[in-house]
Amino acid sequence: MTIARTLDDACVALAEHPDALLLAGGTDLMVGVNRGQVGFDHVVVIDRVDELRGWRREGDELVLGAGLTYAEMGRGELPVLLPALAQAARTVGSPQIRNAGTLGGNLATSSPAGDTLPVLVALDATVVLRSSHGTRKLALDRFVTGVKQNALEPEELIEAVRVPVLDGPQEFLKVGTRNAMVISVASLALVVDRAGRSVRVGLGSVAPVPVRAVEAEAFVDGAIDWDTGSAPEAAVDRFAGLVAEAARPIDDQRGTATYRSHAIGVLARRALRRAFPGGAP
Amino acid sequence: MSAGPYVLRVNGNDHEVPDAHLGESLLWVLRERLGLPGSKNACEEGECGSCSVQVDGELVCSCLVLAAAGVGREVTTIEGLAPDGELADVQRAFVEAGAVQCGFCTPGLIMAVDTLLDDLPDDGSDPDDLIVREAISGNLCRCTGYGRILEAVSIAADLRRENRT
Ligand SMILES: Cc1cc2nc3c(=O)[nH]c(=O)nc-3n(C[C@H](O)[C@H](O)[C@H](O)COP(=O)(O)OP(=O)(O)OC[C@H]3O[C@@H](n4cnc5c(N)ncnc54)[C@H](O)[C@@H]3O)c2cc1C
């Protein structure tokens, strides 16, 4: 076992043991380990790598370390800079899970229900990958390639995620069977870029990968009165309908495709209304 | 695959773990190798909270911690809350409120409430009901219906405050 202290330690260990189990918070991995479903003979532990911890601001961008925990997403200045991410983090699991689970682990798991993913796709996030061969960057929609599939190469790890700091309201909404400890049945992140006069919407749990509601975005950008911050009721309706059309949901044990399409439209309407309260009937 | 001998620091003492397997969880090692059965084993997937412990002061599910990766960390279990056999404040509050029925979830809940009280601001106010519910949302109790547990938290908060002043 390697307890890495630096990013270089971790990359060297991964190069030496390409089949090693890369362990961050353990909240996804240990479930399989406990069930005896995960075979391995080397573990590289990265939760003590300082370069992966925390976050920093670089100009108009935030660099979020892969080791950032959900609890940390809700602390200090981050909820002000990235409200949608903080809201998403607060819906994850329980305090126990939020203290251990990380952004990098959520990305690497690439579950359609991963709660940070709709936020990151709405923000056009860039994933920074690192190995002993160097660094590369991928847009989030290039990184997540399918259900639990992504572009990580063997020996590679996620170092950080870069997102813009935007001026405007942000919302994250999730539907599940209770408020805590719930895998989302449908989730939605809406972020507003006032300077660019644009609304961006990311959807979770309603397609194999996190998706953007591109047509709904284009429509609503033109329908909002940006000077008063208001949205006519008819525009909100149409926006919700277009968001629902962007979903490609399936039936599974947590919900039917029909329910998901309905729910995502409800979330879209609610999020837009919260972001643009003006113009409500 | 052996994890080799390693040392875990639990409740202020160093414990040698001589020949563990690499894949063992902290919960397993606490219960089966270190003779500390207070942390309970139920779901082994982080859902029930009955194995909750503090690692470096943070509440986590010990079933989701790889034991060998806990080297150099400070682990506190339910046994560590009352090292001299005298009940800790949260334990006394649970007894007083009758917040224990079958008792299986109790150690995990007490660790959760202890962490909550550690993290509360010191301004003398009672913890907000929503904050309390959120703090124990990762701990399932199938007997009490939670009413008496919530009562116990409020008693525990008073005891903790008295102790501070
Ligand atoms: C009870 C419970 C409730 C949960 N609730 C939610 C929820 O509400 N929403 C949600 O989205 N998820 C939830 N999860 C899933 C999980 O907590 C998250 O996906 C979490 O972000 C995983 O992070 P981790 O650090 O614990 O990952 P780990 O378990 O350590 O690792 C998971 C995977 O990611 C890889 N990995 C980790 N870090 C990196 C890195 N830096 N680079 C490359 N690969 C890496 C690992 O190799 C592994 O394959 C829940 C899990 C449990 C057990």
Residue-wise pLDDT for A137-152, tens only, equals 999 999 999 999 999 9
CATH of the domain at B132: 1.10.150.120
In a shared domain, residues A7 and A142: yes
Cβ neighbourhood burial of A203 (10 Å; 0-12, 13-18, 19+): buried
Are residues A160 and A21 part of one domain?
yes
Place of tokens 């929609």: A141
In this predicted structure, what is the pLDDT of residue B165? 67
Say if residue B158 is in the same domain as residue B98: yes
pLDDT of residue A60: 96
Of B57, B77, B97, the position where a domain reaches its end is B77
Residue A281 lies in a domain: no
Last residue of a domain, one of A136, A164, A192: A164
Q: Is B15 part of any domain?
A: yes
The first and second tokens of residue A93, run together, are: 């699991």
- Confidence (pLDDT) at A100: 98
* Spatial distance between the Cα atoms of B131 and B136, rounded to a whole number of angstroms: 9
Closest CA–CA distance from residue A216 to any residue of chain B (Å): 34
Report the mean per-residue pLDDT for chain A: 97
- State whether the beta carbon of A104 lies less than 6 angstroms from ligand 1: yes
Position of tokens 């749990």? A205
Q: What is the pLDDT of residues A200-258, one digit of tens each?
A: 999 999 999 999 999 999 999 999 999 999 999 999 999 999 999 999 999 999 999 99
Task: Report yes or no on A87 lying in a domain.
Answer: yes
Residues 6+ apart with CB under 8 A from B13: none
Best of B24, B64, B75 to mutate (most A CBs within 10 Å, chain A): B64
Is the domain of B103 the same as that of B62? no
Question: Which of these three, B37, B52, B77, is where a domain ends?
Answer: B77
Q: Which residue among A118, A147, A164 closes a domain? A: A164
The answer to whether B63 faces chain A, any CB pair under 8 Å, is yes
Looking at the structure, tell me whether residues B157 and B93 fall in a common domain.
yes
Residues A26 and A89 in one domain: yes
CA closest to B52 among chain A residues: A96
Residues A119 and A224 in one domain: no
Q: Does residue A39 surpass a pLDDT of 90?
A: no
Give chain A positions within 8 Å (CB) of B71: 3
Instruction: Give the pLDDT band (50/70/90) at residue A65.
Output: very high
Cα distance between residue A135 and residue A128, in whole Å: 7
Asked if B141 and B109 count as a contact pair (C-beta separation under 8 A), the reply is: yes
Does the residue A245 lie in any domain? yes
> Is the distance from the beta carbon of residue A166 to the nearest atom of ligand 1 less than 6 Å?
no
The answer to whether B37 and B127 are in contact (CB under 8 A) is no
Percent of chain A with pLDDT over 70: 100
Contact between B39 and B27 under an 8 Å Cβ cutoff? The reply is yes
Backbone phi, psi, residue A133, to 5°: -90, -10
Segments forming the whole domain that contains residue B67: 6-77
Which of B95, B104, B67 is CA-nearest to residue B151? B95
Report strand pairing: B52-55 vs B58-61. Answer: antiparallel
Q: Cβ separation of A30 and B66 shorter than 8 Å?
A: yes
Neighbouring-strand partners of residue B6: B17
Report how many domains make up chain A.
2
Kindly state whether residues A76 and A140 are assigned to the same domain.
Answer: yes
Q: Is the CB of B43 under 6 A from ligand 1?
A: no
d(CA B130, CA A20): 42
Instruction: Tell me, yes or no, whether A158 and A175 share the same domain.
Output: no
CA of A224 to the centre of ligand 1 (A): 37
Tell me the residue range of the domain where A152 lies.
2-164
Residue with tokens 């399932």: B140
Q: How far is CA B152 from the centre of its chain?
A: 16
Distance of residue B15 Cα from the nearest chain A Cα, in angstroms: 19
Q: Are residues A207 and A77 in the same domain?
A: no
Ligand 1 centroid, distance to A256 Cα (angstroms): 25
Average pLDDT over residues A117-131: 98
Residues A110 and A19 in one domain: yes
The verdict on B160 and B96 lying in the same domain is: yes
* Boundary of a domain, candidates A164, A181, A210: A164
pLDDT at B94: 98
Judge whether B1 lies within some domain.
Answer: no
pLDDT class for A278, splitting at 50, 70, 90?
confident
> For residue A102, how far is its CA from the centre of ligand 1 (angstroms)?
6
The CB density around residue A154, as the number of other CB atoms within 10 Å, is 10
A21 with A75, same domain: the answer is: yes
What residue ranges in B56-134 does DSSP mark as E strands? 58-61, 74-76
Q: Are residues B73 and B31 in the same domain?
A: yes
- Which two tokens mark A66? 């892969």
Q: Ligand 1: which of A43, A51, A92 to mutate, judged by most atoms within 8 Å of the beta carbon?
A: A92
Q: How far is B86 from chain A (nearest CA, A)?
A: 27
**Domain count of the fold of chain B:** 2
* Domain final residue pick, B42, B77, B112: B77
Residues of chain B with pLDDT under 70: 165
> Measured between CB atoms, does A165 come within 8 Å of chain B?
no
Does B43 map to a domain? yes
pLDDT number for residue B6 = 96
Q: Best of A2, A19, A34 to disrupt the B interface by mutation (most B CBs within 10 Å)?
A: A34
CB-nearest partner of B25 from A34, A41, A97: A34
Q: In this structure, what CATH number is given to the domain that contains residue A135? A: 3.30.465.10
CA distances from A163 to A89, A173, A210 (A): 16, 19, 16
The 3-state DSSP class for residue B18 equals: coil
Could you say which DSSP state residue B68 is in? G
CA–CA dist A120, A107 (Å, integer)? 10
In tens, the pLDDT along A77-112 reads: 999 999 999 999 999 999 999 999 999 999 999 999
Whether the CB of A112 sits within 6 Å of ligand 1: no
